[in-house]
Amino acid sequence: MTTPGDSGARETWPLWEVFIRSSRGLSHVHAGSLHAPDETMAVRNARDLYTRRAEGVSIWVVRASDITTSDPDARGEFFESPQGKEFRHATYYSESESVPHL
C-alpha cells in the first residue's frame, strides 16, 4: 500500500501528517503534511507552517508511513455496499402523535 503523499526516493526527510486543534473543546483536524527529520522537528515545522495565523492551540503529528489507509481501488466493496440499504437510516420509524417535538 502506498503512503499518502509520498513522492518516492527523492525524499530525504520522512513525511508527516499534521493535525491541528483550532480551539479548546474541538477535535484535532487534518491540516496538511510536511517533511521533517524527526517528530520533534515535525511539531516545530507544523507550528511554522500551519499556525502562523493563530489557527491552533494544539498540534499532533503522525509519521505518514504509520497511517494505514483504505485501498482506493477497493472503493466498490468498501464504500458502495450501503447503497440500497436505506433501512440503516432511522427513517422507518413511525412518529407517535402523542410525543411532540420529536
User: Alpha-carbon distance 8 to 11, whole Å?
Assistant: 6
Alpha carbon distance 51, 61 (integer Å)? 13
Smallest distance from other proteins to CB 67, Å: 19
List interacting residues with other proteins (CB under 8 A). 12-13, 20, 22-23, 31, 34-38, 40-41, 44-45, 48-50, 52-56
The residue among 12 and 94 lying less far from other proteins, judged by its C-beta, is 12
- Measure the CA–CA gap between 27 and 29, rounded to whole angstroms: 6
At its nearest, how many Å lie between other proteins and the CB of residue 59?
12
